[in-house]
């Protein structure tokens, strides 16, 4: 089974643009998460945080999906061996750094929760507008190479796309928010700030 998480973008151009967008998005979320994570107990900062989130929501809601194009800003398999190994390694590294530097626990958790909060709202409205989707590809049990070789023309596919329900979407996008944003961006805190 392969699970794809994709972010439909509003006419995003080429791979360079996608790379720059990813770096900018990651940098913004990390910086904002660290800034507001350090100020979670200040009312004024919480107001600013929610104004920022409101700006993000208005920005997402004001955009439209171009239905005439199949262009996808990013499409990735979230449950491949490489992806899971990468996220698992980053998670283990983060836990080791938290164990070695327990004085940073409060700051990292505050940053983590600020990023998760912002990205949860962002992802929800992106999903609501149709910019974020998932596909679940399930291996067809009837597919085998011997059968395909016997048939010259076969419409039998190796993978079929499973109809996605709200629970599937919640689980995959939740994984994306917690691990591919929260855990992955805390990694950069541990890598450069400790």
User: Are 172 and 5 contacting, i.e. CB atoms less than 8 angstroms apart?
Assistant: yes
Identify the domain containing residue 184 by its residue range: 2-192
End-to-end CA, the chain? 38
CA distance 63 to 89: 36
Number of domains forming the structure of the chain: 1
Nearest CA-CA partner of 29 in 8, 49, 9: 49
Query: Residue 117 and residue 122: Cα distance in Å, rounded?
Result: 9
As a whole number, mean pLDDT of residues 169-176 equals: 90
User: Span 79-91, mean pLDDT?
Assistant: 86
Q: What is the mean pLDDT of the chain?
A: 79
Return the pLDDT at 178: 93
pTM over 0.95: no
Q: Is the pLDDT of residue 11 over 50?
A: no
Give the pLDDT score at 99: 92
Q: What is the mean pLDDT of residues 13-31?
A: 68
- Rounded average pLDDT over 51-64: 90
Per DSSP, helices labelled H in the chain are: 15-37, 43-62, 81-100, 105-129, 145-150, 166-175, 184-192
pLDDT tens-digit series, residues 103-133 = 999 999 999 999 999 999 999 999 898 888 8
The reported pLDDT for the residue numbered 75 is 64
pLDDT at 194: 58
């Amino acid at each position: 089974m392969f699970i794809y998480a994709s972010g439909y973008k509003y006419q995003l151009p080429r791979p360079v643009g996608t790379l720059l967008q990813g770096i900018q998005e990651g940098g913004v979320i990390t910086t904002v998460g660290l800034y507001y994570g350090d100020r979670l107990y200040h009312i004024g900062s919480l107001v600013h945080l929610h104004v920022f989130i409101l700006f993000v929501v208005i920005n997402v809601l004001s955009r439209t999906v171009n239905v005439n194009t199949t262009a996808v800003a990013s499409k990735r398999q979230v449950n491949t061996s490489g992806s899971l190994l990468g996220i698992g390694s980053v998670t283990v590294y983060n836990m080791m750094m938290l164990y070695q530097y327990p004085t940073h626990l409060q700051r990292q958790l505050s940053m983590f929760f600020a990023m998760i909060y912002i990205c949860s709202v962002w992802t929800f409205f992106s999903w609501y507008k149709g910019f974020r989707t998932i596909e679940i590809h399930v291996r067809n049990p009837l597919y085998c190479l011997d059968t395909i070789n016997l048939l010259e023309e076969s419409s039998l596919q190796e993978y079929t796309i499973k109809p996605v329900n709200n629970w599937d979407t919640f689980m995959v996008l939740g994984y994306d928010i917690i691990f591919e944003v929260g855990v992955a961006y805390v990694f950069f805190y541990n890598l450069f700030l400790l």
